Amino acid sequence: MSGQDGILEIIGPVMVGPSSSHTAGALRLARLARAVLGGQPQQATLGLHGSFAKTGAGHGTKLALTAGLLGMAVDDVRLAKADELAVAAGVDVCFEAVDLGVGAHPNTVVFDLRTADGHQAHLVGASLGGGSVQMTEVNGFAVNLNGLLDTMLFAHADWPGVVARLASAMALFDLNIAAMQVSRKGKGGQALTVLELDHPCPEVLCTAIAASPQILWSAKVARIDAAGADQ
Amino acid sequence: MSESVDGSLLPDKDLTFAKVVVLAQHAGGLALAAREMESASTGLPVGELDRLMAGRLAVMREAAERGCAGPVISRTGTTGGDAFRLCVATGRGGILGGPLTRAVARALAIAEVNAAMGRIVAAPTAGSCGIVPGVLLTVAEQCGLGDDKIVEGLWVAGLVGQVIQGRIALSGAQGGCQAECGAAAAMAAAAACHLAGGDAQASTHAAAIALKNLLGLVCDPVAGLVEVPCIKRNAGGVAIALAAAEMALAGIRSVIPPDEVVMAMAEIGHGLPLALRETGEGGLAATPTGRAIAAALAEDGDLGASDASVSGSVTGSERKC
């Protein structure tokens, strides 16, 4: 089974060509990485694996990844000039070929991002085809992010009650949790809770939770709109 | 199908053509069933869904018109201008004339706009983006149907894509070209059949007949690009889709039931060697001419697609890490 996209994802997205996996999917993946970073990267090193490394250039994959880092939408015709726009915006993007082994999806990207104020993120994800994407690793935590729902990521101490408090906070704001993932780096170490929500988490709540001493870092990822383009 | 909390129907992992036919009987047709399901899973009202789909139709039409109005050349310069060439030639007659040639020209046009980094609608993928609109715009023109009917056709096409996607990912990398142009032709055939008055059963058989004609089609793009042979396969997909729809409308049925055809497609797709799944390493890509094109593009630097270009393609604003 390969999962079920909505019909607007089958007849869609509206996008700049030439490849749904190597152009639109690449852009969405990079947008997801930008969202987890929490802003525009100043420095970005992108490792391209498999088909992305081999055929990426002709599909405009590097342009699409750059456009995603800049926060552009998949139907933005400026995509073809994303490299120039990155220079103008002071975003330094570099690419290298990486070999993640035969088990890795052929369209995998390893992101190492840094904002101007020194905030960093390391992410691994793949473009699955038809514009669908999946982020599988965030800052050392195993995840499964596809961007189809509004998503919150909370890294926190692996203590009893933190997950319950996060869920309670969502409940206070009447936010329905559609899916939830918890992973950790060893018992009592760091944990990551990913909440997929039916509505975006209000800023006031995001800020309040982020200020909690148990939260190490958090990120807010807007869903890919049904129209296939912007959030 | 499974019942959601409010009693509406939600798609499940086992969406099949058989279930879709039953659902259509209850909903009053495939298009209504598709919209109802999408509304249940997204929470968006039907009117909003139609508005979004009409937006997609506008992008499809714009691309078709652009590619037919004048030569559109790909980003690499390898392909382009064929839709315009065909439009000019058929203006003087031609062996097929009429709707089939116009449908083929539209499919080529949209696929060329895609290769030129223009705006298109992936349907289901960018590589196969010309087939569904090529067929639907032409059937609507032929039958005198308005945009609201074309939008209906797009819902039917999308529903068929969803059924296929339940068995195999819609990407050349995983299922070969049969999972891109094959799926698109099946989607277009079902939608064309629907627009011409066929019922749900006829539409699913139109999809099956189209798919059977493209089973096993490999994904072997020259230099890994969505150009050769992808653009012309959009043209072929249109012809097969229209033939399949015409057959289904005449009462012809697929001997192998539609769901079994999709099962065969999945089995074939999973058995395809890696070289024939979008790696640009086998089939047409591995021919002397295919390799020569890839090598020439690699020398150009930025557009290079061979292994050698990976380490060497640092141009413009890109720096080495």
Higher pLDDT, B3 or A142: A142
Chain A residues inside the 8 Å CB shell of B20: none
Chain A residues inside the 8 Å CB shell of B44: 226
Pair B131, A11: CB distance under 8 Å: no
- Name the DSSP letter for residue B298: H
pLDDT for the residue B13: 60
Domain boundary among A86, A114, A138: A138
pLDDT for the residue B259: 98
Residue A188: CATH number of its domain: 3.30.70.260
Domain boundary among A138, A163, A192: A138
Domain shared by A207 and A134, yes or no: no
Give the whole-angstrom CA distance, residue B161 versus residue B132: 11
Give the whole-angstrom CA distance, residue B211 versus residue A176: 40
Structural domain includes residue A230: no
Pair A196, A153: CB distance under 8 Å: no
Give all domains of chain B, ordered by start, each with its CATH number: 11-276 (1.10.4100)
Residue A108: CATH number of its domain: 3.30.1330.90
Domain shared by A132 and A164, yes or no: no
**Minimal-distance CA residue of chain B relative to A61:** B303
Domain shared by A21 and A113, yes or no: yes
Q: List all residues 6 or more positions away from B177 whose beta carbon is below 8 Å from its beta carbon.
A: B127, B214, B217, B218, B219, B220, B230, B233
Domain shared by A208 and A178, yes or no: yes
b/e burial code for range A22-60 (CB count within 10 A of at least 16 → b): bbbbbbbbbbbbbbbbbebbbebbbbbbbbbbbbbbbbb
Percent of chain B with pLDDT over 90: 79
Pair B163, B215: CB distance under 8 Å: no
List, in sequence order, the alpha helices (H) in A70-190. Answer: 82-88, 162-172
Q: Structural domain of residue A187, as residue ranges? A: 150-221
Pair B298, B308: CB distance under 8 Å: yes
Judged against a pLDDT cut of 90, whether residue B53 lies above it is answered with yes
Beta-carbon separation of B13 and A77 below 8 A: no
Domain shared by A174 and A127, yes or no: no
pLDDT for the residue B11: 45
Domain shared by A71 and A178, yes or no: no
pLDDT for the residue B301: 52
pLDDT for the residue A4: 57
Pair A222, A35: CB distance under 8 Å: yes
Domain boundary among A100, A117, A138: A138
> Computed from CA positions of residues A32, B162, B164, B222, in that sequence, does the dihedral angle turn out positive or negative?
negative
Judged against a pLDDT cut of 50, whether residue B317 lies above it is answered with no
Q: How many domains does chain A have?
A: 2
Taking a contact as any Cβ pair under 8 Å apart, which residues of chain B between 188 and 217 contact chain A?
none
Structural domain includes residue A31: yes
Structural domain includes residue A207: yes
Domain shared by A107 and A155, yes or no: no
Residue among B43, B159, B169 minimizing CB distance to A129:
B169
Domain shared by A23 and A97, yes or no: yes
Domain shared by A163 and A109, yes or no: no
pLDDT for the residue B12: 52
Domain shared by A25 and A133, yes or no: yes
pLDDT for the residue A224: 78
B109-120: per-residue pLDDT in tens? 999 999 999 999
pLDDT in tens, chain A (231 residues): 334 578 998 999 899 999 988 899 999 999 999 999 999 999 999 999 987 887 666 788 999 999 999 999 999 999 999 999 999 999 999 999 999 998 898 889 999 999 999 999 999 999 987 788 999 999 999 999 999 899 999 999 999 999 999 999 999 999 999 999 999 998 989 999 999 999 999 999 999 999 999 999 999 999 876 434 443
Domain shared by A120 and A84, yes or no: yes
Domain shared by A17 and A110, yes or no: yes
Structural domain includes residue A1: no
Judged against a pLDDT cut of 80, whether residue B308 lies above it is answered with no
Chain A residues inside the 8 Å CB shell of B158: 7-8, 10-11
ipTM of this complex: 0.90
